[in-house]
Chain A
Amino acid sequence: MKYVDEFRNADLARAVSAEISRLVDPNRHYKIMEVCGGHTHTIYRHGIKDLLPDQVELVHGPGCPVCVLPMGRVDEGIAIAERPEVIFTCFGDMMRVPGSRGNLLEVKAEGADIRMVYSPLDALRVARENPDREVVFYAVGFETTAPSTALTLQRAKKEGIENFSVFCNHVTIVPPVRALLDSPDLRIDAFIGPGHVSTVIGCRPYEFMPADYGKPCVVAGFEPLDLMQSILMLMHQLDEGRCEVENQYGRAVPWEGNLKALEAMAEVFELRPYFEWRGLGFIAQSALKLSADYTDLDAELRYSTPGVRVADPKACQCGEVLKGVLKPPGCKVFGTACTPERPLGALMVSSEGACAAYYNFGRKSFEKVEIGTK
């Protein structure tokens, strides 16, 4: 059986690895941030780190949408879900994201009607099938996911479905990256840009990285060799003194993105003046809310969510990990008080979260280092 052989070919991976090593300046330390949680998952799952020379360090960025959701927004979703008239729908990962009073799975166990869906269109179908109930979809995700919410809202409006609404927590990728670049804590040499976000928004939005900050960016796919090739492309840029946006993932990312998807998003959403990101604080124009034409389908308005702010648990160091200043095992509660079975911080919840990925796939190399240093 053939199974993604071109993108997991060991000989090709070794060849790319050797070429990366050839380009490394032995006296320099390279920090490359993968913005996207899907890339973090691939890096740990396939042991990419072990194929890179010691001088090349991968730093995990803020690109896991459930991980960056602040606890206050989780609590507000739970408050809506607990209303007796509501059928609350959300993606699977969202069910286990901890709020200050537990998570959606626990609230479901206590009797709330909470249903996992694979698509916001499934939530709309639930609304059609339950005209006497209020169906709310908990929308989370970057620009990859926002088009599906936009299309669902367009269909709801067109069909006049009034018992459906969306609790919108969609975020955008460029503002947090800019915030990270402005952060004095962090020195990043180059960026691996998100793949499927870029299928929607294209590559042009990343041009500020080389233009304003002098940082190269390569938009990458999600197979191991996609990432290896992207790192090689970044190393070539750094070696040659070039600084530009390149697209490694041409098979899925058009340079201009998906204009129809962008049009749907522009109709349905508008930028929030600011939004709180877990670990990163408030970032201007970094999230979406429903536009004026869709306020009647906005759960935030329908249920008058108060916009509460809840501090993370003191022991939780998700913020430092999200900013790339701390590796997951450096967190005080990693693997002890905080595990995928019982997550304390959001980064341990989703398989795309840096801590969960490290816990599931990366501990072996960590243990090797630990043993080696003893």
Chain B
Amino acid sequence: MCGIAGSLIVGGQARHPDMARMLATLRHRGPDGVNYFTSPLCALAHARLSIIDLETGAQPMSNEDESVWTVLNGEIFNYVELRAELQGQGHRFRTRSDTEVIVHAYEEYGDRFVDRLVGQFAIALWDVRRERLVLARDRVGIRPLFYTKSGGRLLFASEVKAILAVAPERASLDEQGLAQTFTFWATVGRRTLFRGVESLPPGHLLVVEKGAERLREYWDWTFPAAPGRTDLSLEAAAEELHGLLQIAVRQQLRADVPVGTYLSGGLDSSGITALARQSTADLQTFSIVFDDPEYDESAFQRDLAERLAVKHCPIRCTDRDIGNVFPDLIWHTETPVLRTAPAPLMLLSRHAHQSGFKVVLTGEGADEVFAGYDLFKEGKIRRFWARRPDSSWRPSLLSRLYPYLGRSPVENRHFARLFFGQRLDDVDSPFYAHLTRWTTTRGIFKLLSPELKAQLASARPEDELRAQLPARFQAWSGLARDQYIEVKTLLQGYLLSSQGDRVSLAHSVEGRVPYLDHRVIEFVNTLSPRYKLRGLREKVLLKRALGKLVPETIVKRVKQPYRAPDSRSFFDAGAPLSYVEELLSPSSLRRTGYFHADSVARLVEKCRSGRALGAGDNMAFVGVISTLLLHEHFLSGRAAHGAQVRA
């Protein structure tokens, strides 16, 4: 795991920027060393977190005759097998590093080298002879990579702050990106919060050669036309899945440093921990404990840790901890967030780091691959209801949703029926399951200043997402469509980023996600929805596959998605924390210009007095604070200076 940065001269007499300045902003990703490759046309920089081949794994790394150079952020988990294959084809290796397989695989397979990689990666590769730059990002988007054109150069880096450090003109808000974030919780496609800075989409290559630039998709989530494969018994499918998960976990345990796991106490992380335990004698687990029982899962964590005989290391997270760490969190996420849930995970990565760990396996991705979210059930119920809108018992199934919420949208069946009945007949919408969630999230728009509201009046976040959907999308089952939208919005843009890569690397910890091994995804995606959501029972296949490894108490427990206390974390005894008070002062709100001071004051009062009961108000409050922090960190004109100071 590491931070990478680079520059390609694409115009005139441009010169490379100060690469050390770019890397200085990324040292949290790679504190173990820095190194550079520089040629007249291309510069590559690497901040290293040493995990594999501690002695000779320094980057940038080249092939035998130094005609191909690369920097890698991430891991190539099948490097052992790939190395043997490439050696068989005559390639000579100088190191034991996973990075070195990239340059040889490129020599052997050209741009198709990415198809051979199993891993989580952001790669920059410079082909000296052809004067050709290749940027590549893993299939699912676990590791980030951003790029922009600035002053005759193509600049790229693991985080936007490295780009801003040498291209301060990019420290400008992309209002459309903000509108997307205030709808989907994330930007989609190439868009970011910074105008002119693009994100290389997951599963894509960007090739720049002699002035021509080509973006190519090499992998995407895909599903069969409905209904999908039904020929396997559930038992046979579970056995095949179990085998794939074993391979994924075994390969992801590859490291020359100790590997731990994050254990929430739910099925997904328990499954990964149990699989990892099979081949790790002294496995260590890390968990978050909350005081509030609505969020706390510590009893399940302890239970599993005892049964598996692992060394369990929990940390207690208070409301105050969340509020205190939040400004730092937004420095790392580089985007507003609408929930505080990433904050405790940042504290957890600090805890893992302080415990001497650089690598953890996590259960992220299982809810998307195996259909674990209540949102998928919501879509299923609404489609079922839409077939007979006059039915009174069909909508009564809504009462089965969101049992884990203290204040649930189905708490009152009459209002639930009205709420979830909105656009009930819009079943052909690609966003059918997501419409109600997005409506709630967009409540934050009412807080915008008149100026920003006017700028965003024509913003159509859904249209941009719709334009990115594959042609085959409408042929898929309703569940597959819902899964795809979930992946392209919340998973890629939020869970793997703000709640994944950014918070773990904030403290130099690499998170690995075996459920998102593409071989697992490809197998499960071929199957009919019945293997995932049977009736309203979620993750049927995964539960069967893990049934022998994980105690029944965990397999059968009611799903509790990971969440954390929201608006109340920013108050202490009824008063806002000092930085919150400062950010929300009328003068600050007028100066920054994003929000309407009067409206924000009403929301603050509602939150302060504990009257903000619903998800909408809490999301809006966290969204306001995080947007203002984003401004302070990056958009206030102090950005470049700030980047240097923070680094």
A, B assembled together: no
Residues of A within 8 A of B (CB): none
